[in-house]
Amino acid sequence: APAIVWFRRDLRLTDLPTLLAAADRANAALAVFVIDDRLRRPSGAPRLAFLADCLRALDADLGGRLLLTHGEPAAVIADLATRIGAASVHISEDFGPYGRMRDDAVEAALGAVPLVRTGSPYAVSPGRLRTKAGGPYRVFTPYRRAWLDHGWHSPARTDAGTLDWIDPDGLGERLDFDALAERTSVDLPPAGEAAALRRWRRFQQDAERGLDRYSDDRDRPDLDATTRLSPYLKFGCVHPRTLLHDLRGRGDAGAVALRSELAWRDFYADVLHRRPDTARANYHAAFDTLEYHSGPDADAAFDAWCAGRTGYPIVDAGMRQLLAEGWMHNRVRMIVASFLTKDLHLPWWRGARHFMKHLVDGDLASNQHGWQWTAGCGTDAAPFFRIFNPVSQGERFDPDGDYVRRWVPELRGIAGRAVHRPWLLAGDGDAVLPLSPSPASYPPPMVDHRAEREVALARYHRL
């Protein structure tokens, strides 16, 4: 009897243990992806468009045999299993709060047909590592130590030929890939497994902007110095195990730093798995009574932040990069998150929601916990008083101002690092010289960072 391979966040064919498990039980399989409104609704157009492109690429790799369908997964998968007389359904395990619930419902709907979970999107699956006392890790450094000691499997040798793929025509409603996504003007990276592997190969070989420079340059948003693999990791176009395998035995600074970043990804998935409530709730409940700025002013401030019109150039560059590319450099994610929570005194979840709507790599665990870390209520060991100064952060990590000029055209007329303090050029705190293609002039700083820093600390001390 055939099997079903249900794709979700594993849109690739190499190094996919699910295929080995299916091939153990069957020669032929139906490949299916189910559009689930519960996940589609909060996703935002850029991520859905990228997902549609990834599915198109997977379909091509499967010789046009991916069934794209729509509905309640429990009903859809159980119905397909009955139609083809499947003896098993194969997935890689989802550890997200909703994903686990959904998979349990699918398992129940399948009755006697087993739902076989093999592997996960992580090098070390959430829940696997425990402290000596048997509990979860609450901070990163000891987690990483345990993660390195634990290690991971070698890549699974799989490809499209691992199974015969069943022709899905006539098996339920088959949607076109365009059905998934609204139009977006966001400049998306090339999608799919081949594009992910190409990007990874280039990153390993590029002497100027690749792995060899990663440890030195990864905090520089003006350079294209990181892997930019996050969208591919999000949808499993490449598995972290594949990357870690290619780094094996390497103790150079670049490899060590990249391994560590991949450990962060697993760490946050572990944290969310053990505390699913932290998708919304503060990781540290002590922060539940933190005061926030609210009212119409607060909404106007939030809108200015979203639009990249705060008057702080590095913040605005980041927010505009997010809108244009559906991606933002990690250092700048921290700067804009700190600005929202500690200069504008707005709650982290408002920023997190905006990020999830626009990020192509938007991932509940990394995003909510990246936000909580920066807001000070998360897993960081030295939390709230780390308040990023947006000017000195800009001067330090975008030392020539190139990143700001790339994303804030109004400031292109200002050379060098002076671009981080445009108000010094403008006389009495008014807008800067309108030198750009954009007719709108650049706004003055919406708040005084030094004063807001004190307000933030006072809020913290009232906890």
Query: Under the rule (CB under 6 A), what is the footprint of ligand FAD?
Result: 218, 226-230, 233-234, 261-262, 264-265, 268, 330, 333-334, 337, 355, 359, 361-363, 366-367, 370-371, 374
Mapping DSSP to helix (H, G, I), strand (E, B) and coil, where does residue 93 land?
Answer: coil
Shortest Cβ 47–ligand FAD spacing (Å): 10
When the beta carbons of 90 and 265 are compared against ligand FAD, the nearer one is: 265
From the list 126, 159, 162, 160, the residue with the least C-alpha distance to 143 is 126
Q: Check: CB of residue 380 under 8 Å from CB of residue 393.
A: no
Shortest Cβ 53–ligand FAD spacing (Å): 17
Q: Check: CB of residue 430 under 8 Å from CB of residue 415.
A: no
When the beta carbons of 383 and 422 are compared against ligand FAD, the nearer one is: 383
CA–CA separation, 433 and 419 (whole Å): 12
When the beta carbons of 264 and 384 are compared against ligand FAD, the nearer one is: 264
When the beta carbons of 140 and 442 are compared against ligand FAD, the nearer one is: 140
CA–CA separation, 397 and 216 (whole Å): 11
CA–CA separation, 456 and 463 (whole Å): 11
Q: Check: CB of residue 29 under 8 Å from CB of residue 62.
A: no
Greatest alpha-carbon pair distance for the chain in Å reads 78
When the beta carbons of 44 and 370 are compared against ligand FAD, the nearer one is: 370
Shortest Cβ 303–ligand FAD spacing (Å): 19
Taking CB atoms, the residue at the shortest distance from ligand FAD is 370
Quote the tokens at residue 33: 């992806």
CA–CA separation, 120 and 289 (whole Å): 36
Shortest Cβ 227–ligand FAD spacing (Å): 3
When the beta carbons of 273 and 333 are compared against ligand FAD, the nearer one is: 333
When the beta carbons of 210 and 401 are compared against ligand FAD, the nearer one is: 210
Shortest Cβ 348–ligand FAD spacing (Å): 8
Quote the tokens at residue 45: 């157009």
Q: Check: CB of residue 273 under 8 Å from CB of residue 127.
A: yes
Q: How many CB atoms lie within 10 A of CB 75?
A: 13
From the list 256, 283, 36, 17, the residue with the least C-alpha distance to 155 is 17
Q: Check: CB of residue 34 under 8 Å from CB of residue 107.
A: no
Quote the tokens at residue 277: 């409530």
Shortest Cβ 262–ligand FAD spacing (Å): 5
Quote the tokens at residue 83: 């139609």
When the beta carbons of 343 and 363 are compared against ligand FAD, the nearer one is: 363
Shortest Cβ 404–ligand FAD spacing (Å): 18
Specify the length of the chain in residues.
463
Shortest Cβ 228–ligand FAD spacing (Å): 4
